[in-house]
Chain A
Amino acid sequence: EAQVTQNPRYLITVTGKKLTVTCSQNMNHEYMSWYRQDPGLGLRQIYYSMNVEVTDKGDVPEGYKVSRKEKRNFPLILESPSPNQTSLYFCASSLSHRNEQFFGPGTRLTVL
């Protein structure tokens, strides 16, 4: 089944404790992206990747890192999480930046 998977689905952590949210797609898509969804602010792009080893900042990249060493994986790294990063995070992928994006199930992160 073609899909985007994220892990973990739920995470509660404390300020400053480094964490990684994994994202993987099995559709051989070139383009991958991370969004966060917050009440009243909607969905905003954090980082995106046009292809392997090519990543760039979205609208809200502060406090996040990403890497794209393989085509299928695009992990989101929070080196020192803070409470304002409490949010619902979505990974997405598409054939290219011109095509419709397919979303993972989401990761609900709470930073205490």
Chain B
Amino acid sequence: GDSVTQMEGPVTLSEEAFLTINCTYTATGYPSLFWYVQYPGEGLQLLLKATKADDKGSNKGFEATYRKETTSFHLEKGSVQVSDSAVYFCALITLGGSSNTGKLIFGQGTTLQVKP
């Protein structure tokens, strides 16, 4: 079945460091890809999305590019802030085939801690 694999955390960085969180996926259909962020005690917020190969999603300084050839959607940010400390989830929705239900398939989440 479809799946998402994220790098394990926690990831601890100093403020202004470069961030990469790796995400790879397996899908039989034509997935749309997402990054969600969960701040402590809160719900999931959509951070960015990409719906087809080579699309780049971006928001709040975060970027991710849909790479079909490597089945990856790595999250990057050039300079992290303390306020970026949260759990980040990579997710997909498969469109087409028998999995056309709209179900979001999530990775396990990666905890990011940014220290001043």
Chain A residues near B (Cβ < 8 Å): 31, 33, 35, 42-43, 45, 48, 50, 56, 58-59, 90, 92, 94, 96-98, 100-106
Contact B108 A42 (CB under 8 A): yes
Chain B residues near A (Cβ < 8 Å): 32, 34, 36, 42-46, 49, 89, 93, 95, 100-104, 106-109
A33 in contact with B103 given A43-B89, A97-B93 (CB within 8 Å): yes
CA distance A45 to B1 in the complex (A): 15
One of B32, B89, B103 near A48 (C-beta < 8 A): B103
Contact A97 B102 (CB under 8 A): yes
Contact A100 B34 (CB under 8 A): yes
A90 in contact with B102 given A98-B95, A100-B34, A100-B49 (CB within 8 Å): no
| Smallest CB separation, A57 vs chain B (Å) | 10
CA distance A106 to B41 in the complex (A): 9
Contact A35 B104 (CB under 8 A): yes
Chain A residue numbers with a CB within 8 Å of B49 are 100
| Smallest CB separation, A99 vs chain B (Å) | 8
Chain A residue numbers with a CB within 8 Å of B42 are 105-106
Contact B44 A90 (CB under 8 A): yes
